[in-house]
Amino acid sequence: MELNAGTAGTGSHETASERKEVAALESLQFTDEIRRLMLAPATDNASSFTALLELPAPQAVQLIHSPDSVKLTAVHAPTPNVDDFKGSFHFPFDSGLIERAARFSLFAGDGNINVNNKSNSLEPTSYNSTANLQKPVKSEPAETESYQALVSDPTVENRSIKRKDREKVKGSTKKNKTAAKDSSDDAEKLPYVHVRARRGQATDSHSLAERARREKINARMKLLQELVPGCSKISGTALVLDEIINHVQSLQRQVEFLSMRLAAVNPRIDVNLDSIFTADSGSLMNSNFSGMVMPMMWPEVQLNGNRQQYPQQSQFGAFQQPVWGREEVCNNYMTPENSLLSYDSSGNSASLHSNQLKMEL
């Protein structure tokens, strides 16, 4: 989180939205780079892909791979954008695949195949076809692999790797897009996740969606790991979650404890604060926090002296004892916490506090 804040350099108030913006920016740059990488060898991929398609036997299997990504876009995005789609995937969906699909009559269930490649019409057809072809696909995964191994191995791998990167990136962009609900930038951003079946993994749409979701979760878990101190060394989700839970619980306990301490120290809640805010601004020139607070706290100390007459003061004094005892304990407890937390030490935070008060006054 701190790295993101440092690199982005934005001055936004909300850290979560800032993080998202940074992630969006980074992912955008990423998408541009990857797009450039992808479009350059697009022709090569096209040739290899059509070469794959010309292979006689498992054309159905090959066709599964491409309509799978098409179908997934239907699954993931309610309103797919045709132009985006065309812009991103130059090679398979323009003419070659559609013609062959029509020829092989796999999409016999739905007769209206437009060569103009309207993805809307393509999706239901591919869905039907994949539903029919699930079993043959699963029965011959080995054959797919063998064929993929035969023909242009590195390009396929590159493609799958690029798709993997892109799907990770697209996951975050997709999230930002759905949050922003704006798909005007068609050339730059894609509004849906492109997930590609990797080698040796199931091409089931559910598993692909599941995988995309899992990667989203893993990305966010990494952020959490960076945030919580001592979590980056731990491997394994359960232990990391344990640490996170402990951290949240300790923070909540600290809040409780500090509020108790504040309640004990101050006889009334707002005495302290009134004295802070009624102080003259002339005494604020020195940045020393204790120096600033001391002259302002004198009225409060006098108030304390006045209140000694009241019987409540005995109660206050009685409570004072355990508070001081607890304070020592909490000092020991908090200094390791200070070292663990990625914050500055309490000294710096105190100076920050003084600056805040200065700015308010």
**SS3 of residue 294 by DSSP:** helix
Q: Taking the complex as a whole, how short is the minimal distance between the CB of residue 168 and another protein, in angstroms?
A: 14
Does position 42 interact with another protein (CB under 8 A)? The reply is no
232 alpha carbon, distance to own chain's centre: 16
- Of positions 188, 339, 348, 361, contacts another protein by CB under 8 A: 348
**SS3 of residue 1 by DSSP:** coil
Q: Which residues are CB-contacts of 106 (< 8 A; sequence separation ≥ 6)? A: 60, 63, 129, 132, 133
Does position 72 interact with another protein (CB under 8 A)? The reply is no
Closer CB to another protein, 161 or 265, in the complex: 265
Place of tokens 């290899």: 48
Task: Write the interaction track for another protein spanning residues 180-199; mark x where CB under 8 A is met and - where it is not.
Answer: --------------------
- Of positions 21, 264, 284, 333, contacts another protein by CB under 8 A: 264
- Of positions 55, 150, 260, 340, contacts another protein by CB under 8 A: 260
Question: By CB under 8 A, what part of segment 318-347 binds another protein?
Answer: 319, 327, 334, 341-344, 346
Q: How far apart are CA 316 and CA 114, in angstroms?
A: 84
Per DSSP, the residues of 213-248 read: HHHHHHHHHHHHHHHSTT-TT--SHHHHHHHHHHHH
Buried b (16+ CB within 10 A) or exposed e, 138-177: eebeeebeebbeebbeeebebbbebbebbbbbbbbbbbbb
255 alpha carbon, distance to own chain's centre: 27
Place of tokens 């132009």: 83
Closer CB to another protein, 102 or 271, in the complex: 271
Does position 39 interact with another protein (CB under 8 A)? The reply is no
- Of positions 29, 259, 288, 308, contacts another protein by CB under 8 A: 259
Question: By CB under 8 A, what part of segment 1-30 binds another protein?
Answer: 1-2, 5-6, 11-19
* CB-CB neighbours of 20 under 10 Å: 16
Question: By CB under 8 A, what part of segment 267-306 binds another protein?
Answer: 268-270, 272-273, 287, 289-290, 293-294, 296-297, 300-301, 304
**Residue among 192, 194, 140, 143 nearest 167 (CA):** 194
Does position 249 interact with another protein (CB under 8 A)? The reply is yes
Does position 234 interact with another protein (CB under 8 A)? The reply is no
Does position 75 interact with another protein (CB under 8 A)? The reply is no
Q: How far apart are CA 24 and CA 22, in angstroms?
A: 5
Q: Taking the complex as a whole, how short is the minimal distance between the CB of residue 254 and another protein, in angstroms?
A: 5
Q: Taking the complex as a whole, how short is the minimal distance between the CB of residue 123 and another protein, in angstroms?
A: 25
Does position 55 interact with another protein (CB under 8 A)? The reply is no
Q: Taking the complex as a whole, how short is the minimal distance between the CB of residue 24 and another protein, in angstroms?
A: 14
Q: What angle do CA 51, 55, 56 make, to 5 degrees?
A: 155
**Residue among 13, 349, 2, 19 nearest 179 (CA):** 19
Does position 71 interact with another protein (CB under 8 A)? The reply is no
Question: By CB under 8 A, what part of segment 86-145 binds another protein?
Answer: none
